[in-house]
Amino acid sequence: MLAYFDCFSGISGDMTLGALIALGVPPDWLKDNLFSIPLEGFDLAVTEQSRNGISAESVSVHLADESTSRNYSQIKSLIEQSPLSENVKSNSLKIFEKIAKAESGIHNTPLERVHFHELGGIDALVDIVGAALCLEYLEISEVISSPLPLGRGFTVCQHGRIPLPAPATVQILKGVPVYGTDIPFELVTPTGAAIIAAMASSFGPLPEMEIINSGYGAGQRDLETQPNLLRIITGKKNENHDKDEVIVVETSIDDMNPEIFGFLIERLFEDGALDVLFIPVFMKKNRPGTMVQTLCEKHNFNQIINRILSETTSTGIRHYKVKRAKLKRKTVILKTSLGDVQAKAIIHPDGIERIAPEYEACRKIALEKNIPVRVVYDTALKEISRQQSLDKNRAGL
């Protein structure tokens, strides 16, 4: 199940819990699991509210003692020794680590010794572990979020008056798309920032999906300009194909020995390039040249750039992100009369499966048996087609 966090008015821990409860998480079930950590001295109050005519769940954590303080090591131990599932433990610790690293950098304190009320307070534990529990209960396998709006002004914490967004929030949101607003309040809290930064696989507009449900969590403050709500939309992704994001790296060359291009393409594939194209182009002063266009993943990006700049006469490159839609595929081994052949089983949107033998596997057999590579291709495809026909006939009997 996919969950899209529509953070048009920001996000906080209690707004997250409210929206997830509105999606169907029983409050009593949530409290029972939180008490098992064990967490004591709190109660969870869930009330229905209306914001601009929209029904939403409002969650408040009532504490018997607000002075509780723990450091990061104590929190890790508390969660790791709890009876919660490994998935809930992992996600809870991932969220807490976001906050701890931010506070460690701001206060110049070793990570394991980060010690302050906001991190160790029961309310933060309830929000963070509660969010992880709710995501598991709803069987959410992926979270995508909208960009986050940030308020302006100042707020008061135990250290005194600080600017908005809070320094911890800014640290946590490194790498997350945000935008400023004129709303003079805190829209994204450190806890809310940590939850979405740790859980979201990507940020952007509502993805292509089949909507199943939606839930609204209410913030504690009324906003004059808009409803103070977090909306979470759940649904199913289009399962006919996979989507991802890769990087295109390209440069145009008109002054290089053409023999080098063959060497370059080999090295780029060794560096992890997904694809390499050499495209004839006309450059300035109508000089014929070659555009080298390379497709790579983020973790190979710097290596690909270094390879192009060191192996060619190019003095600069262009790069940009692109989205891909891919047919689902899996690796299979074909049992043939010539030996085992590795192949791709490609699944089309209509469910039909197409087999494509891998070139390197066919090449290896062709060299070993001293036969044309096309014979290996043809043999593998004919024999797997015959086997599939036999399997269909048996299934029909």
Indicate which CATH number applies to the domain containing 289: 3.30.70.1380
Taking residues 268-286, report their average pLDDT: 95
- The reply to whether 362 and 309 lie within a common domain is no
Per the structure, how many domains does the chain have? 3
Amino acid 270: pLDDT = 94
- The reply to whether 9 and 88 lie within a common domain is yes
Amino acid 70: pLDDT = 75
Indicate which CATH number applies to the domain containing 384: 3.10.20
Q: What whole-number distance in Å separates Cα of residue 255 and Cα of residue 260?
A: 11
101 in any annotated domain: yes
| Residue carrying the six token digits 């199913």 | 236
CB 326 within 8 A of CB 333: no
322 in any annotated domain: no
Q: What whole-number distance in Å separates Cα of residue 335 and Cα of residue 280?
A: 41
334 in any annotated domain: yes
Amino acid 268: pLDDT = 97
CB 203 within 8 A of CB 179: no
- The reply to whether 232 and 251 lie within a common domain is no
Count of other CB atoms within 10 angstroms of residue 173: 21
CB 243 within 8 A of CB 142: no
Angle at 335 (CA atoms; ends 366, 367), nearest 5 degrees: 10
Q: What whole-number distance in Å separates Cα of residue 8 and Cα of residue 147?
A: 8
CB 343 within 8 A of CB 385: no
131 in any annotated domain: yes
Q: Point out the least confidently predicted range of 104-113, 161-170, 230-239, 248-257.
A: 104-113
CB 125 within 8 A of CB 84: no
- The reply to whether 175 and 307 lie within a common domain is no
- The reply to whether 149 and 233 lie within a common domain is yes
239, 257, 280 - which closes a domain: 239
- The reply to whether 146 and 234 lie within a common domain is yes
Q: How confident is the model at residue 10 (pLDDT cuts 50, 70, 90)?
A: very high
Crossing angle for the helix pair 86-107 and 72-80, nearest 10 degrees? 180
- The reply to whether 167 and 276 lie within a common domain is no
265, 286, 316 - which closes a domain: 316
Long-range pairs of 366-372 with CB within 8 A, sequence gap ≥ 24: 369/338, 371/338
Crossing angle for the helix pair 72-80 and 122-137, nearest 10 degrees? 40
Helix runs in the chain, H state only: 13-22, 27-35, 72-80, 86-107, 117-120, 122-137, 167-172, 190-199, 259-270, 301-311, 359-369, 373-396
Helix runs in 6-47, H state only: 13-22, 27-35
CB 314 within 8 A of CB 328: no
Taking residues 68-94, report their average pLDDT: 89
Tokens for 228, please give them: 């103070």
Q: What whole-number distance in Å separates Cα of residue 395 and Cα of residue 397?
A: 6
- The reply to whether 228 and 269 lie within a common domain is no
Kindly report, residue by residue over 284-297, the tens digit of the pLDDT: 889 999 999 999 99
Q: State which amino acid sits at residue 291.
A: M
- The reply to whether 309 and 332 lie within a common domain is no
CB 190 within 8 A of CB 99: yes
Domain housing 378: 327-396
Asked whether the predicted pLDDT for residue 119 surpasses 60, the reply is: no
213, 239, 265 - which closes a domain: 239
361 in any annotated domain: yes
The percent of residues in the chain predicted with pLDDT above 70, rounded, is 92
321 in any annotated domain: no
137 in any annotated domain: yes
Q: How confident is the model at residue 68 (pLDDT cuts 50, 70, 90)?
A: low
In order, the DSSP letters of 207-251 are PSEEEEEEEEEE-SS--SSS--EEEEEEEEE-TTEEEEEEEEEEE
- The reply to whether 234 and 246 lie within a common domain is no
Q: How confident is the model at residue 65 (pLDDT cuts 50, 70, 90)?
A: low
249 in any annotated domain: yes
In order, the DSSP letters of 117-135 are HHHHSHHHHHHHHHHHHHH
Q: How confident is the model at residue 72 (pLDDT cuts 50, 70, 90)?
A: confident
Going 177 to 182 to 184 to 185, the CA torsion angle's sign is negative
Give the closest residue to 125 by CA, choosing from 74, 55, 186.
74
Q: State which amino acid sits at residue 142.
A: E
- The reply to whether 98 and 152 lie within a common domain is yes
Count of other CB atoms within 10 angstroms of residue 258: 9
- The reply to whether 234 and 250 lie within a common domain is no
Backbone angles phi, psi at 217, to 5 degrees: -110, 130
For the entire predicted model, the pTM comes to 0.67
Q: Point out the least confidently predicted range of 65-74, 134-143, 176-185.
A: 65-74
Q: State which amino acid sits at residue 130.
A: G
Give the closest residue to 92 by CA, choosing from 104, 105, 80.
80
